[in-house]
């Protein structure tokens, strides 16, 4: 039985009963990037108390959204991953993230960027209609966080870390939001130091067109 019930026979209300508790959607967001150990989830959500993370995972397991899986040796241990039912939340998470990105504004003093949040941000704001038939490998560095995006024929695969041979490397901080929201142009971003690039500099225009808030 969900902790919070709304007393309404409605799909929207039922969804909120299952995933509307605090931190639940952020746990799902990080698991959409890939399976994780408990410690990985803690690292990606540094402000979540251990007992709250334990409770959220238990609730999501009971709802059939998350499951535990034993890893084969040599890694060993247990990881949490989304079930098939849980993965159906991807479209919802992307739509919600796209809506939220429009309301970000400047980062607050205590807000951080994680590799999972940045990877999901790129998936969230990816515009397949702008990508067309491009075949481009992008690497994005925000502080010490590095993610990559491989665009191919209107699709994108986003991952953590570097690529063997990216076409364009973009380096910035949280202020890159202004560029991706088209509040400044690529030319202005390069001139004022908002971004630095390595590789095919002309591809910055394509990057901003393909990944746009």
195, 165, 203, 160: which is closest to 178 by C-alpha? 195
CATH C-level class of 115-210: alpha beta
- Domain-by-domain residue ranges, the chain? 11-88, 115-210
| pLDDT band at 44; cut points 50, 70, 90 | very high
- Give pTM, 2 decimals: 0.89
d(CA 68, CA 39): 14
Q: State pLDDT tens for residues 20-30.
A: 999 999 999 99
* Most confident by average pLDDT, 1-15, 71-85, 161-175: 161-175
Token code pair at residue 26: 């952020």
Give residue 26's pLDDT.
97
Give residue 3's pLDDT.
67
Q: Map residue 67 onto helix, strand or coil.
A: strand
Q: State pLDDT tens for residues 114-155.
A: 999 999 999 999 999 999 999 999 999 999 999 999 999 999
E strand segments, the chain: 66-70, 78-82, 135-142, 145-152, 155-160, 168-172, 196-199
Could you check whether the bond before residue 62 is cis, i.e. omega within 30 degrees of 0? no
Give residue 106's pLDDT.
81
Q: State pLDDT tens for residues 55-96.
A: 999 999 999 999 999 988 777 789 999 999 999 999 999 999
Give residue 4's pLDDT.
81
d(CA 111, CA 43): 14
User: Residues 211, 147: contact at Cβ < 8 Å?
Assistant: no
What rounded mean pLDDT belongs to the chain? 94
Give residue 74's pLDDT.
78
- Say if 11-88 and 115-210 have the same CATH topology: no
Q: Is the pLDDT of residue 1 over 60?
A: no
Q: State pLDDT tens for residues 194-213.
A: 999 999 999 999 999 999 99
| pLDDT band at 2; cut points 50, 70, 90 | low
CATH C-level class of 11-88: mainly alpha
């Amino acid at each position: 039985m969900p902790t919070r019930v709304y007393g309404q026979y409605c799909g929207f209300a039922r969804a909120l009963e299952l995933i509307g508790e605090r931190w639940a959607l952020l746990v799902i967001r990080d698991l959409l990037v890939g399976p994780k150990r408990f410690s990985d989830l803690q690292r990606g959500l540094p402000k979540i108390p251990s007992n709250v993370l334990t409770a959220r995972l238990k609730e999501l397991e009971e709802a059939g959204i998350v499951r535990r899986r034993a890893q084969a040796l040599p890694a060993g241990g247990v990881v949490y991953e989304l079930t098939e039912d849980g993965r159906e939340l991807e479209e919802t998470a992307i739509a919600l993230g796209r809506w939220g990105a429009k309301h970000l504004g400047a980062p607050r003093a205590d807000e951080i960027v994680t590799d999972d949040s940045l990877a999901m941000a790129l998936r969230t704001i990816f515009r397949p209609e702008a990508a067309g038939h491009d075949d481009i490998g992008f690497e994005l560095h925000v502080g010490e966080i590095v993610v990559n995006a491989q665009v191919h024929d209107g699709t994108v695969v986003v991952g953590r870390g570097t690529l063997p041979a990216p076409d364009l490397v973009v380096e910035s901080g949280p202020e890159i939001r202004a560029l991706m929201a088209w509040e400044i142009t690529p030319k202005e971003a390069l001139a004022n130091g908002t971004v630095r690039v390595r590789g095919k500099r002309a591809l910055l225009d394509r990057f901003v067109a393909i990944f746009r808030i």
